[in-house]
Amino acid sequence: MNDDPPEQDISSASHSQRIAIIGAGTIGLSIATFHIPFGNPITIYDTRPNLHEYIQANLPPLLASSSSTTTPHPSSQLPPNLTITTDLASAVQHADIIQESTPEVASLKQSLWARIERLCPPTALLWSSTSGIPASTQSAHLRDPSRLLVVHPYNPPHIMPLLEVVPSPATQPALVRETLRFWREERGRRPVLVRKEVPGFVANRLAFALLREAVHLVAEGVVGVRDVDAVVEASMGPRWAVAGPLRSYAAGGGEKGLKGFFEKIGGTVQECWRDQGRVEMGGEWEKDVFREVQEAYGTFGKEDAEERDSITRGVLEAIRVGRLDAERRREELKVLERVAETEKLD
């Protein structure tokens, strides 16, 4: 990151936290759903003509089903700390945090950020929810590109704890630190700093690598659609929810860690890497794989989403409780060890 631009004064923004959500699509409404229960003034901006009716229909069900909601809202009533507007100036002119969640079109984001920069306070934090357009591209029309960084949530943001914080080479380090602090300390999430801008950042690259191999195995007739999903759901899914791939395989290597793991089965790993399929968009595989997935699961509807989200919340809560129990046991063990040491001295 470039230290040359003068660092922005962000001391006031972290306290008042007036939040503007730019874009009321799936991600924007989910982010709003997460923030609203904390009581901050939230403004949602979008250009659709029926914006109020659209939010009235789509936001209350999200709030009602959100585990982060501490104060229930009747389905016909919007929360009192929410403002809805189709006027960009009114949305951002007093905002401390501005999170953009508009369509994945670079030119759209560039022009939008240029407008926002002219209208918002100089201390406002500028975050983009993009899943693939780096801050260095989005900031092309900004007078001060050091203000912008990507804060990419994992879908759905009101449930999933991950935020990928991706600065451009020009982003002020102080803004990166404040962004990480906000999500970790004020929102209890798991922000991760991505040190370099790469296509897809980190989460999507990992997910899409697995998706590519799953598509390849189904296309080659190695395994069926439901069975390849079952493999993930019954093995690496729960394991990686507790410990990611590097930590998991390091544990498999015993005292030697990851080096020990590769010493044990490195030959098999290398053979799998060499044999992994190369899948190109628009290839012959699409027709058969798309059809097989449709036949296996049909159309993903509202009830499916609710079931997925409910189970996901349960998994995350179980992990949270499990980690607290493990931490408590470690602390108890430390106490016992100190007592034992004291008794030896006596």
Same-domain pairing of 75 and 223: no
Nearest to 139 by CA among 100, 103, 174: 100
- Domain edge (last residue) among 259, 281, 297: 297
**pLDDT 10s digits, 142-198:** 999 999 999 999 999 999 999 999 999 999 999 999 999 999 999 999 999 999 999
Same-domain pairing of 125 and 65: yes
Per-residue confidence band for 217, with pLDDT thresholds at 50, 70 and 90: very high
Q: How many domains does the chain have?
A: 3
Same-domain pairing of 47 and 189: yes
Same-domain pairing of 322 and 240: no
Per-residue confidence band for 75, with pLDDT thresholds at 50, 70 and 90: low
Domain of 256? 203-297
**pLDDT 10s digits, 234-287:** 999 999 999 999 999 999 999 999 999 999 999 999 999 999 989 999 999 999
Same-domain pairing of 178 and 44: yes
Same-domain pairing of 154 and 285: no
- CATH number at 185 reads 3.40.50.720
Is residue 127, in this structure, part of any structural domain at all?
A: yes
Is residue 314, in this structure, part of any structural domain at all?
A: yes
Same-domain pairing of 223 and 318: no
Is residue 4, in this structure, part of any structural domain at all?
A: no
Instruction: Tell me the mean pLDDT in the region 73-93.
Output: 87
Q: How far apart are CA 17 and CA 340, in angstroms?
A: 49
Same-domain pairing of 219 and 91: no
pTM value is 0.88
Most confident of 8-22, 56-70, 73-87, 258-272: 258-272
Is residue 5, in this structure, part of any structural domain at all?
A: no
How confident is the model at residue 76, as a pLDDT? Answer: 62
Same-domain pairing of 293 and 303: no
Same-domain pairing of 41 and 141: yes
How confident is the model at residue 69, as a pLDDT? Answer: 45
- CATH number at 249 reads 1.10.1040.10
Is residue 117, in this structure, part of any structural domain at all?
A: yes
- Domain edge (last residue) among 297, 316, 338: 297
How confident is the model at residue 14, as a pLDDT? Answer: 42
Is the pLDDT reported for residue 1 higher than 80? no
Regarding beta strands 148-153 and 162-167, do their DSSP bridges make them parallel or antiparallel, or are they unpaired? antiparallel
Is the pLDDT reported for residue 3 higher than 50? no
Is residue 7, in this structure, part of any structural domain at all?
A: no
Is the pLDDT reported for residue 210 higher than 50? yes
How confident is the model at residue 252, as a pLDDT? Answer: 93
Is residue 133, in this structure, part of any structural domain at all?
A: yes
How confident is the model at residue 11, as a pLDDT? Answer: 40
Is the pLDDT reported for residue 6 higher than 70? no
- Domain edge (last residue) among 167, 193, 219: 193
- Tell me what percent of the residues of the chain surpass a pLDDT of 70: 92
Same-domain pairing of 234 and 335: no
Is residue 18, in this structure, part of any structural domain at all?
A: yes
Same-domain pairing of 40 and 139: yes
How confident is the model at residue 190, as a pLDDT? Answer: 97
